[in-house]
Structure 1
């Protein structure tokens, strides 16, 4: 089996799984309980919080655990949702931002992107005014791999309106590319994209007093995200941050895939060569159905995706936003890598893609 759908989710690492299983056995008490077992559980969460915060070069006092990146992203948008204000997001944001934006009282303003998915800074600035409360721009695009210079965008946005806040969805960036949050007010990260467990994510909040929580209850996470903490997942998340992302090797594999797939007739590579995450490669074949190609590859136990797994059953707005031609738009697949992906796997994937594309083209004429 070759699994090249890691932008959707990654397989939990064995070392991470051991830590998680151990936590289920040893630290099963409620961290809010006042007895010794509760104290020991709370101590584990405190240590994990510090470890994850250190990996972002932030204070642990500014890191808050949440069940998923979707919940974190939704929470940030709704925290600044106020009638009479406006919120800016890019046209290529993850569904957890884009769909949340459709359900706010504030005016939603969509920022243009170029052919590779990079945010148009001039368009962003033209849409910011004195009523802009929040700008949310994804760090690494989940379908294309485009890396936005979020610090520069935040700096420019705040020069136009010093009162606004800047959020970035860093789920596809965290532990894969350099992360600098000096101008960022909110930043979302997730465990299951870095070989950790599902069901746990975290939100960086520079100034917790600026955040209006939607969640009320026992007062956990500084009263911002009440609810009993998922301790086994939290300590496993921390362990996952220790893993080597093998960036140099993944970059070599990406270059190989790019070079060999570009030799196939009538193909477009949508992911930019520069300022793009090597873990994501989006390619399109002319007049071929992506789902057909996906299932042909699946016959040989090769697993890829047709875009964001969070947009299942829908056309990609990302492809519309970057202006992909109709003849190519239906034939786009995403290959996404993780730390343990190998060159041997990549060579097999290239050969099988070439073979399946030829078969499909012969069938459809």
Structure 2
């Protein structure tokens, strides 16, 4: 157990935090080499061992944004306070920037679209047609605005294929979410927790402002988020979608929190959903490598997957999408 936790924190620091959040990289690598801290973490339930949750809970409880020796001493002295926060909260990184990497798929669906996001949190990724996006393509920048007018912030995405830059917003006629702990985007405390889940560092400062802007958009007309387990509620909620719309079931960085058997169970549910409810269903997935072996097998050996999700449509790899929506890459994937 100790070795597995050390490997997890080492991977988090080297693969995910490196180059984007120096402080989280140092904390993660520090834990990976700290036998006393590893011994504290080992008895915790798996959910509480998550680096994102532990680090955000420590920050919420008042830890210093300091080098590992000072930070770990503070966390050790305030361990009960940190665990109280972590036990009451959850990792729900609701990154609206990811909508920029959903639109290249959603905008190419003909006719009305119904959206069903599992792991929706506050529903900020249920509103891709309500945010402005600037796509930086090989020939220059292209801006796409909502039909109702632009909000006071802009998503930015670098895309490597000019043909995939959306030229219109999808016609979204219905949207729902499923989450174990739905978040009210009009609740200042809830939005502040989402902001705390954003990593510290200059690469992430703009994400905080974007999150608050997207929360204001959501609060003005909040999408409906159903409370429950995605494995238990999927078909029930999906049946409420309009029968004449294409239902898109999608998620970003959600399935990594499920066990491997539950991931496979979810995949089976989505694959059979269209026949079960009598709808046209597409499955749009943004998850890390290691989520599905069948997806990883489609990737070229040289594919750079750090800081990227593997985007699939109905189980077929179509792109590598930046984890916060800043890039959309298709070259060399055979998409």
* Normalised TM-score (structure 1): 0.29
If asked which structure has higher relative contact order (CA below 8 Å, sep 6+), I would say 1
Choose 1 or 2 for highest CA Rg: 1
Higher strand share: 2
